[in-house]
Amino acid sequence: MFTAALSSGLLLPRSAPPLSVTPVRMLTEEAALTPAPGESLRVEPLVDEGALVAQGQPLLRLRASPQIVLTAPMAGRLARIELAPGRRLVQAVIFHEGEARHEYPAPAAGPEGLRALMQGAGLWRLLRSRPFGQMPRVGETPAAILVMAADTSPGAPDPMQELRGREDDFGRGMAALASLTGTLFLCGGEGLPAPPDTRRIACGRLHPQGLAGMQIHRHCPARIEAPVWDIHAGDVADLGALLVGGLLPETRLVQVSGAALRETRLVRCQPGADLRGLCRDIVKPGPHALLSGSALDGGPAQFLAPRDRQVTVRPLASGPARRHWFAAALRRAGRPLPVIPTAALDQALAGLPAAALVRALGAGDDESAIRLGALSLVEQDLALADYATAAEPPLSAQLRAILDRIEAAEVPA
């Protein structure tokens, strides 16, 4: 039945050229391991700079949790490891060289063996734990895991296309994830194999229906004592392939789109691919910006972020923006600018109490924000609301400030 839960959301104007539907395999000459936006990784190198590495080989491990490693996105030579103060990872850059692949042994039986394999093969960081939107802690047990086989972000590739021909790997990965939790959800993915007790969720076609935060809030709200994980369906298929063959898949499906391109392209590239290499021959003349992620929530980057499956290339403005004294005065105000509740805001926060949540975020009211569903959300989930309201400061930044404050107060160090 077509309900309000499936019909809420917005259809964003299309600014990209038509899509070429046939994916092209493209390994860029450079690739890098980088932190996800907002992620801080204190690491120890496992390989020296200048060494040849195999695709999937462990390169770095976390200092606080040495069981968790980061692996090479492709075979090549480790050119450099850049660390910020505190040995926090900035990037580890690899130049493509050779075709070697690192093979992992079969895991020990049971959930602990699966955890050890995911943490030791670099797949653990593709899980995202809510509340707070970070990689799960080593021993964390989720109340539920949500697998996203739908994505309504503008410019995102259809996860079902990435899974075409990989149904067996996906089913194997789903069965493995089921051993880590009592409740497994699958959003979208009609016809995909899954364990019998998997709870299937229908997904609307409008944004933000295809975001994990909206589905978690609706079906399994996250709590501090009951975290909920989400993961992309393509990563679940990667887990299934690793379990049967011991090898990490070399590529993922990525869509390259944006108004600064002559064509929209689907590519199969390595994780951490060089964005310049993915779009060099299809960019229009003129200044442009490369974003890892969608036009709504993507950030300027040189390399594809760990969880991203889309690249946005947008033109830069040719002249300075026009300024008005009243707008400048509002931006200098000590309080957030008022956000007027509108139908667009209601649609952008599909299923959430929009007016009350925006008021709680602006006032910094942690208790009200928790009661209204903030613990199930991350910045990506409010990006459409920022677009619809032009809120200043952005609602997503206000949400992050509240989440950071709650985490510091409630979660032991």
Phi-psi region of 50 (alpha: psi -120 to 50; beta: other; left: phi over 0): left
Q: Give which of 210, 224, 385, 408 is closest to 310, Cα–Cα.
A: 210
* Of the candidates 279, 247, 240, the residue with the CA atom closest to the CA atom of residue 263: 279
Dihedrals phi, psi of 319, to nearest 5 degrees: -140, 170
Give me the amino acid identity at 219: H
Q: Give the predicted TM-score (pTM) of the model.
A: 0.93
Q: Specify the pLDDT at position 21.
A: 73
What DSSP assignment string belongs to 144-212?
A: EEEEEE---STTPPPHHHHHTT-HHHHHHHHHHHHTT-S-EEEEE-TT----TT-EEE---SSBTTTSH
Query: Following DSSP, what letter does each residue of 141-160 receive, concatenated?
Result: --SEEEEEE---STTPPPHH
Give the orientation angle of helix 354-363 with respect to helix 395-410, to 10 degrees. 70
Spatial strand order of the sheet with 43-45 comes to 43-45, 58-62, 69-71
pLDDT of residue 5: 58
State residue 340's pLDDT score. 74
Max CA pair span of the chain: 66
The sign of the torsion formed by the CA atoms of 107, 108, 114, 115 equals: negative
Mind giving me the DSSP string for 97-130? ----B---PPPPSSHHHHHHHHHHTT-GGG-EEE
Using left for φ > 0, alpha for ψ between -120 and 50, and beta otherwise, residue 288 falls in beta
Report which residue type is found at 211.
L
And the tokens for 389? 């309201």
The one-digit pLDDT tens for each residue of the chain (413 residues) are 335 556 678 877 766 666 767 899 999 999 999 999 999 999 999 999 999 999 999 999 999 999 999 999 999 999 999 999 999 999 999 999 999 999 999 999 999 999 999 999 999 999 999 999 999 999 999 999 999 999 999 999 999 999 999 999 999 999 999 999 989 999 999 999 999 999 999 998 899 999 999 999 999 999 999 999 999 999 999 999 999 999 999 999 999 999 999 999 999 999 999 999 999 899 999 999 999 999 999 999 999 999 999 999 999 976 666 666 555 655 665 566 677 778 888 899 987 999 999 999 999 999 999 999 999 999 999 999 999 888 888 999 999 999 999 999 987 76
pLDDT at 6: 60
Domain residue extents for the chain: 109-247, 253-315, 335-410
> What pLDDT, on the 0 to 100 scale, is given for residue 2?
39
* Residue 352 backbone dihedrals phi, psi, to 5 degrees: -95, 150
- What would the two tokens of residue 270 be? 């390595």
State both tokens at 301. 């980057």
> Residue 401, Cα to own-chain centre: how many angstroms?
19
Q: Which residues pair with 25 in a beta bridge?
A: 268
User: How far is it, in rounded angstroms, from Cα 270 to Cα 211?
Assistant: 23
- 169 CB contacts (<8 Å, ≥6 apart)? 237, 238, 240, 241, 244
Read off the DSSP letter of residue 280. Answer: G
What SS3 class is residue 91?
strand
On whether the CB atoms of residues 300 and 289 are closer than 8 A, the answer is yes
